[in-house]
A and B are shown apart, each in its own frame.
Chain A
Amino acid sequence: MPTPPIDSAELARFESQADQVAALQQHKQQRFQLWVYVSWVVMFAFLIFAFSGADFTIGPFRITTISLDTEFIMTYWEFIAKGVWLTILLAVLSIALAMVLALLGGLGRLSKFPPAYALATFYISLIRGTPLLLQIIFFFLALPQLGIRLPGLWAGVLALGLNYGAYMTEIMRAGIQSVGVGQREAALAIGMTQPQIMRRVVLPQALRLVIPPIGNQFIAMLKDTSLISVTGFVWELLWRAQKVGRANFRSLEALLIAAVFYWIITIMFSAAQGRLEKYMARGERTI
């Protein structure tokens, strides 16, 4: 859609050329934003319409849309919604564990001490070499065979945390490596020891850099918590949706409800992530 320029009368209100250029630029940007919003609304309306149950004819065409069981939705949405907190709790605990493991893994990957390097690379290879779903089932089904019975939540956190920790190791390593060698030299020159340099100089700078990518991992993990539903031991969003869906032969409605909740959670955390990134980009400050 061609953008009609601001008319010259409107432009003339600005005195300097610089202000006119700025006004034009802002105008362009606003139009772009506006069209993005309009398109979103249209697509969203279409999605709602597709599930509206409307059934009518226009001339020779018969329009049929998907009809949902509203009574089921009204009865069970609350039961499914109760899984939201467990989903978020799972993700928060798992990302915390993953960050600790990733930090240790990242330090190990950069270590000159062979066993530390070996341990880190072994861990990464093992976890990345096997499917996440297998790892989750392993913690719920294989461990009990060895007499180790973890509460469902903790088994889930352990599986997800271990898996994400391995992938996030590379993020941590990159963050640590991005702190210039000059920083270490300056710290050595005033007599700091390696652990002091890590704690006071390198990690504060590295963590600032890795927070945005770790935010991305967290948002991905929010949805991967759903994999834990297959074990049947953790009543999170997807497990609840599947349970009531199957019991009432209303899986379509139940899964849609769960999908809506995942979507809302993701939008909320993405917005928070965006703000965090802006804050972090603002300047040099410690976290």
Chain B
Amino acid sequence: MSAIVRVEGLNKYFGPLHVLKDIDFEVAPTEVICIIGPSGSGKSTLLRCINFLEQPDFGVIEVGGVRVEAHGRGRAYRHKIHELRLKTGMVFQSFNLFPNMTALGNVIEGPVTVKGMDKAEALELGMHYLEKVGLADKQDEYPSRLSGGQQQRVAIARAMAMEPEVMLFDEPTSALDPELIGEVLGVMQQLVEDGMTMLTVTHEMGFARQFANRILFMDNGRIVEAGPPAQLFDNPKDERTRDFLGAITRLGSHE
């Protein structure tokens, strides 16, 4: 099957800092990928380059048939980035719900404002996704009155309501109290079961082991090692992978 995401020769600098080095990989439809690695290894930057929240310096990103080069100017180029963003949905570590809108308002904002969807139709769609994340009863609540776990579930519904082809999760549970992590992982598990293509930067090794088709281990701006969870977790080939996995098991993460 042809890839739904292609990253070719991706390089990114923050000033003199070379944070992504010659990244190449492909993602097949319905594939679930977890990106792990030490902090500062470039995991989040990689994810953010895929929907151009960070402008890559070199390389090509392709999502759902939309190919965008790292360099470009003008209206046509900006339109391509816009198209690419419509193919992706993103969930952030800090939720970033719009505080001036209700839960339902957050979910229908994209369909109404971006896609120009009819309000009644959008409300129906919005309720569908709020139900999917188990928060239909919170439709009229403002984010400030929701728990972190509930906010993140609304954020997932907001991204899903744009019906993207690929979902990007940037440490979706890192800002949550431990007892709230489960409800968010539960929603993500449901997306996996629905066949969503997902790229997730995470420290939840349990989730990665159980649901990922492939793990990418990053260190120092490179993908050091990639493979199915059984191979990467139980039989890592690279020394850096072994060091990292050793360190997190010593710290007793949620295994």
Contact = CB atoms under 8 A, between A and B. Distances in A.
B253 interface: no
Contact of A192 (B101, B114, B144, B155): B114
A194 to B, nearest CB: 10
A206 to B, nearest CB: 10
Interface in B93-112: 94, 96-101, 109-110
Interface stretch (A35-43, A165-173, A179-187): A179-187
A190 interface: yes
Nearest to A287: B100
Contacts of A183: 96, 98
A202 to B, nearest CB: 10
A189 B142 contact: no
Given A196-B113, A200-B113, A189 B89 contact: yes
Contacts of B158: 186, 190
A275 to B, nearest CB: 21
Interface residues of A, number: 22
A201 interface: yes
Contact of A284 (B51, B109, B142): B142
Contacts of A190: 85, 89, 109-110, 114, 158-159, 162
A284 B142 CA distance: 7
Instruction: Classify chain B: how many residues form its interface, as a range.
Output: 20 to 34
Nearest to A185: B53
B88 interface: yes
A22 B158 CA distance: 44
A284 B162 CA distance: 25
Interface in B140-154: 142-145
A283 interface: yes
Contacts, number: 71
A19 B92 CA distance: 44
A186 B97 contact: yes
Contacts of B98: 183, 186-187, 200-201, 205
Interface in B70-99: 82, 85-86, 88-90, 92, 94, 96-99
Nearest to A201: B98
B100 A191 contact: no
A192 to B, nearest CB: 6
A73 to B, nearest CB: 51
A188 interface: yes
A27 interface: no
A26 interface: no
Given A191-B82, A286-B100, A196 B88 contact: no
A191 B97 contact: no
A204 interface: yes
Interface in A230-271: none
Contacts of B100: 201, 204-205, 208, 284-286
A188 B144 contact: no
A33 interface: no
Q: Which of B99, B100, B159, B162 has the most A CB atoms < 10 Å from its CB?
A: B100
A64 B88 CA distance: 83
Contacts of B142: 283-285
A111 interface: no
Contacts of A187: 98
Q: Which of B85, B88, B99, B110 has the most A CB atoms < 10 Å from its CB?
A: B99
B34 to A, nearest CB: 20
A181 to B, nearest CB: 9
A180 B99 CA distance: 11
Interface string A195-221: 010001100110010000000000000
A182 B94 contact: yes
A204 B94 CA distance: 20
B86 to A, nearest CB: 5
A189 B99 contact: no
B21 to A, nearest CB: 24
A193 interface: yes
Contacts of B155: 186
Given A187-B98, A190-B162, 19 more contacts: A182-B96, A185-B92, A185-B96, A186-B90, A186-B96, A186-B158, A189-B92, A190-B158, A190-B159, A192-B109, A192-B110, A196-B114, A200-B109, A284-B99, A284-B143, A284-B144, A285-B100, A286-B100, A286-B101
24 contacts: A182-B96, A186-B96, A189-B53, A189-B85, A189-B88, A190-B89, A190-B109, A191-B82, A191-B85, A191-B86, A191-B114, A192-B110, A192-B113, A192-B114, A193-B82, A200-B109, A201-B98, A205-B98, A205-B99, A284-B99, A284-B142, A284-B143, A286-B100, A286-B101
